[in-house]
Amino acid sequence: LDVAVLNAGVYKIKYAESRYGWEETLQVNVLSTAFIGLLLLQQMKASKRGNSLPVLEIVSSGNHEDATISAERRGVGNLLQSYNASNHYNAKEQYRASKLFAMYIMKTLASLAKSSDVNSGKPDVLVTSVCPGACKSDLSREYNSFAANIAKTAISALFLRTTEQGSRTLVSGVTLGEQLRRRV
């Protein structure tokens, strides 16, 4: 396994729990990404051949930079559990926090990807994240009122990239390899 791109993501406008008891944004954008990332990382390390550098890429969002963790949430013993509570749900805050958590996942997976050969200075797997920017996709599909559809159409036509244009970022993140590693 040379390349894996973890691209699942949701933006839920209302609180909804997954069948596992987690709010769906957390389940998809954070927990499932972490779990599949851990499983794939093990597989990629085990199947690595020669000088190849497998790439595990997490599709993130620049929205992680706008995430703020309130003092109230920081005061709770389990930060993830605080975002799982229905009484504090805010769609924009939840999405931004989920993308911030995805960056922590990327950093953790990258530390686990380090080579067992301490002298190599290279990881066994390159773990990275990319942000394709705002693209015309179904991410906002739950915003489906008449007014929201008019706004989405206008914003999409004026400001959003096509998904094909956004996908170029994903491909670049995978193909740059060592060049990308030097940028991080």
Per DSSP, the residues of 93-111 read HHHHHHHHHHHHHHHHHHH
**Catalytic positions, written as ranges:** 95, 99
For residues 37 and 127, what is the distance between their CA atoms, to the nearest angstrom? 9
pLDDT at residue number 174 = 84
Give the separation between CA 120 and CA 128, rounded to whole angstroms: 19
pLDDT in tens, 109-159: 999 998 877 777 788 999 998 888 777 776 666 777 777 667 766 777 777
Angle between the N-to-C axes of helices 33-47 and 91-112, in degrees from 0 to 180, rounded to the nearest 10: 20
Looking at residue 13, its amino acid is I
Taking only the tens place, the pLDDT of each residue in 51-90 is 888 999 999 887 787 788 887 877 777 889 989 999 889 9
CATH superfamily of 3-134+170-183: NAD(P)-binding Rossmann-like Domain (3.40.50.720)
Span 56-65, pLDDT tens digits: 999 988 778 7
Q: Which of 78, 74, 58 is nearest to 8 (CA)?
A: 58
- pLDDT class of 184 with cuts at 50, 70, 90: very low
Q: What percent of the chain has pLDDT over 70?
A: 90
